[in-house]
A and B are shown apart, each in its own frame.
Chain A
Amino acid sequence: DGGITQSPKYLFRKEGQNVTLSCEQNLNHDAMYWYRQDPGQGLRLIYYSQIVNDFQKGDIAEGYSVSREKKESFPLTVTSAQKNPTAFYLCASSSRTGMNTGELFFGEGSRLTVL
């Protein structure tokens, strides 16, 4: 089935450790996105990529890094510089890029808890 797979679903880490969240899609979409959700907040954009080997910062990129070496994959690293990393992370993809963001297709999310 076509879709977006995020892993792991749940992740516990100690403070100061880097963590990488995986996001893979087999929808042949050009654009991929990472959002973060905190209680009482909307989805906030961390990073997005419209094409392989290119990505842009979203509203809350500090303390995060990404790569886009393959069209199918857009991993997110939560670094030790991220001051408040405990959150729910959603990956999404879209077939359109540029001015018109097409409908987003989402993964099921990864919940990161930093102890």
Chain B
Amino acid sequence: ILNVEQSPQSLHVQEGDSTNFTCSFPSSNFYALHWYRWETAKSPEALFVMTLNGDEKKKGRISATLNTKEGYSYLYIKGSQPEDSATYLCALNQAGTALIFGKGTTLSVSS
């Protein structure tokens, strides 16, 4: 079973801080890298699906980058707000397989 690693496991920031998390994955047979946000008592929701090396995607204050050659992706949150508190999951799509998820990074933002 291949491993998708996320770090840190959890972090706590103050409102207004910027933060970032890492997702590491095996680079062989890469097809796509997904990021999801999972708020408490809700369903996980897709943030980004990234396929190209060097890709950078942005949605509001959240952005993500992708390096398929070295096998990592960063998720950045600029100016964190309490509503950003959630678990952020990354998931790897290798060619011909279903998604494999990391354990997630749980972000807590206090006001």
A101 within 8 A of B: yes
Closest chain B residue to A91 by CB distance?
A: B43
B102 within 8 A of A: yes
A87 within 8 A of B: no
The answer to whether A40 and B103 touch across the interface, beta carbons within 8 angstroms, is yes
Chain B: interface residue total (CB-CB under 8 A): 25
B95 within 8 A of A: yes
The answer to whether B102 and A42 touch across the interface, beta carbons within 8 angstroms, is yes
Segment at the interface with B among A19-27, A69-77, A104-112: A104-112
Residues of A within 8 A of B89 (CB): 42-43
Closest chain B residue to A45 by CB distance?
A: B98
Partner of B99 from A4, A41, A104, A109 at Cβ < 8 Å = A104
Smallest CB–CB gap between B9 and chain A, Å? 9
Chain A: interface residue total (CB-CB under 8 A): 26
Closest chain A residue to B102 by CB distance?
A: A42
Within 8 A of A (CB), among B21-43: 31-32, 34, 36, 42-43
Interface of A is mostly: loop
Q: Specify which of B42, B45, B89, B98 lies most central, judged by the most chain A CB atoms within 10 Å of its CB.
A: B98
The answer to whether A43 and B1 touch across the interface, beta carbons within 8 angstroms, is no
Query: Chain A 79-111 against B: per-residue CB contact (8 Å), 1 yes, 0 no?
Result: 000000000001000000011111111111100
B63 within 8 A of A: no
Residues of A within 8 A of B95 (CB): 99
The answer to whether B34 and A103 touch across the interface, beta carbons within 8 angstroms, is yes
The answer to whether A108 and B43 touch across the interface, beta carbons within 8 angstroms, is yes
Closest chain A residue to B42 by CB distance?
A: A108
The answer to whether B103 and A42 touch across the interface, beta carbons within 8 angstroms, is yes
The answer to whether B98 and A58 touch across the interface, beta carbons within 8 angstroms, is yes
Q: How far is the CA of A4 from the CA of B43 in the complex (A)?
A: 10
A59 within 8 A of B: yes
User: A residues engaging B (CB < 8 A)?
Assistant: 4, 33, 35, 40-45, 48, 56, 58-59, 90, 98-109
